[in-house]
Amino acid sequence: MEKQLDRVMDEVLTVPGISGCIFSDKQGLCIGVKGKASAESAGIMSAIANQVAKLEPDNKSPIIVYENDNQSCIIQQQGDITAAIYKTGII
Amino acid sequence: MVEEIKKNILQMIQKVPGVYSVLITDRDGVQVLKVNTDKAPEIPMRPGFLSTFALAVDQGGKLGLGKTKTLICSYPQYLIVQMNKLPLVVTFIANNSCNVGHILALEKQIEPTLSVLSLAVGETYM
């Protein structure tokens, strides 16, 4: 069942600059993680996506980007799934 | 000191929407600390309910997957997350639609508080 998700994660990691990715379900539980990402952050990612979605309820699925000097984290929720991608360097 | 710990835990759970209360008990379900919000239900707070965690942990150990760390129970109305911090047990009572992953992420934040309390409980058991 998770083969498809595994394939997607492998595909994501082949993109240059991407160091890790994590997927969580609607309960904030980790359904997949690859690369430099921690399964423990799945709940937080999902909570962030839920909170940010409340800012503009009419517009669906905002893309959230957290940046520091050397890496960025991109979060998006679609349906029940929340995905977060860690990228080295800023966008 | 207890008031300060309670305040810290309350601040922590207010950041997670849907969490009603946090109970810190020993393995027999005897309460060491209780932090409630207004909507906290009474039924999951009975020692009879809380003490079943110790039994579940013992049974879980037989699965051969190592020591049981967390137990998540989902009921029609409530969601109960219990963490194995023996001699203490931490129980989170939340709404069924609550973010479980977020509750699990609180584990690291609550650990410093537990180390203070487990010393007290450990001494009592000796």
* Residue B126, pLDDT score: 45
Q: Report residue B46 as tokens.
A: 């009975």
* Residue A91, pLDDT score: 66
pLDDT single digits (tens) A1-26:
788 889 999 999 999 989 999 999 98
Q: How far apart are CA A19 and CA A30, in angstroms?
A: 18
Q: Report residue A3 as tokens.
A: 């083969």
Q: Report residue B88 as tokens.
A: 């203490």
What CATH number has the domain bearing residue A61? 3.30.450.30
Q: Does B73 touch chain A (CB under 8 A)?
A: no
Choose which CATH entry (3.30.450.30, 3.40.50.300, 1.10.10.10, 3.30.1330.10) describes domain B2-125. 3.30.450.30
Please choose, from the candidates A51, A32, A52, the residue with its C-alpha nearest in 3D space to the C-alpha of residue A42: A32
ipTM above 0.95, yes or no: no
User: What is the tally of structural domains in chain A?
Assistant: 1
Domain of residue A67: give its range: 3-88
Please choose, from the candidates B13, B33, B8, the residue with its C-alpha nearest in 3D space to the C-alpha of residue B98: B13
Q: How far apart are CA A86 and CA A36, in angstroms?
A: 8
Q: How many CB pairs under 8 A join A and B?
A: 37
pLDDT single digits (tens) B31-90:
888 888 888 887 778 888 888 888 888 888 888 888 889 999 999 989 999 998 878 899
Task: Indicate if the pLDDT at residue B125 is higher than 60.
Answer: no
Please choose, from the candidates B73, B70, B78, the residue with its C-alpha nearest in 3D space to the C-alpha of residue B40: B78
What is the sign of the dihedral through the CA atoms of B66, B67, B69 and B71? Answer: positive
Task: Indicate if the pLDDT at residue B106 is higher than 80.
Answer: yes
Task: Indicate if the pLDDT at residue A85 is higher than 90.
Answer: yes
Q: Does A54 touch chain B (CB under 8 A)?
A: no
Q: Report residue B81 as tokens.
A: 């997350």
Least confident residue range of A43-57, B32-46, B94-108: B32-46
Q: How far apart are CA A38 and CA A33, in angstroms?
A: 7
Mean per-residue pLDDT, B78-103: 90
Task: Indicate if the pLDDT at residue B2 is higher than 50.
Answer: yes
Spatial neighbors of A22 by CB under 8 A, at least 6 apart, are A30, A32, A33, A34, A37, A38, A39, A41, A42, A45, A83, A84
**Share above pLDDT 70 across residues of chain A, in percent, rounded to a whole number:** 98
B38 min Cα distance to partner chain A (Å): 22
